[in-house]
Amino acid sequence: MLLEEALNAISVVSAVIDTEFAKYYHEFLPGLKHILDTIPNTDEKKTNIRLSAIECMGFIMTSMRTLEGFEQEVDAMMEYFIGHQKKIPKDDPEQAVIMDAYSQVSSHLKEKFDKYMPHIFPGVLEALDIEVKLVTHKNEDFKEMAKKKYAMTVSISYYAKLIFNRETSNQIF
């Protein structure tokens, strides 16, 4: 419990002082990786520690965005996360927290994040467990489709907007 609280405190400090925390990342990331590599995911307490460690890693990676060499450091962390995701079950709660970390990093890398998508996107589709059909539409058509009952617009990054419609078995138009 104390370790989980310490990890949460590091996450908060990292998020609050943001880029000022970046100079400490070399001191924290190896220990956070060590937690994931050595504490087994065998009970709720250990799982919560692991989830807090992953969340903390995401905040620290975000704080590093203004550092020279940020992209190289992120490459190493993304490689670690992608490899880690392959080792854990698809329904493991760590999957969702890692996805949150990806989201944080992608908001800063923008189009440079696309090199990770071939590794990440198949897992996203698997987690959704839906049939995906993608068709492009003009803005006018898109707005009209969004007016349908039970329709929901979902933005994926800033590249595409998709419609999920319950009336058609959650297919994307």
User: Is the pLDDT reported for residue 45 higher than 60?
Assistant: yes
Mean pLDDT of 109-119: 86
Q: Two tokens at 1?
A: 């419990």
SS3 161: strand
Residue 49: the pLDDT is 94
Mean pLDDT of 36-59: 92
Segments of 13-166 assigned E as strands: 151-156, 160-165
Residue with tokens 């460690």: 53
User: Is the pLDDT reported for residue 2 higher than 70?
Assistant: yes
Residue 88: the pLDDT is 86
Where b means 16+ CB within 10 Å and e means fewer, 107-131 reads ebbeeebeebeebbeebeeeeeeee
User: Is the pLDDT reported for residue 126 higher than 80?
Assistant: no
User: Is the pLDDT reported for residue 133 higher than 70?
Assistant: no
User: Is the pLDDT reported for residue 140 higher than 70?
Assistant: no
User: Is the pLDDT reported for residue 171 higher than 50?
Assistant: no
Mean pLDDT of 109-120: 86
Mean pLDDT of 58-64: 88
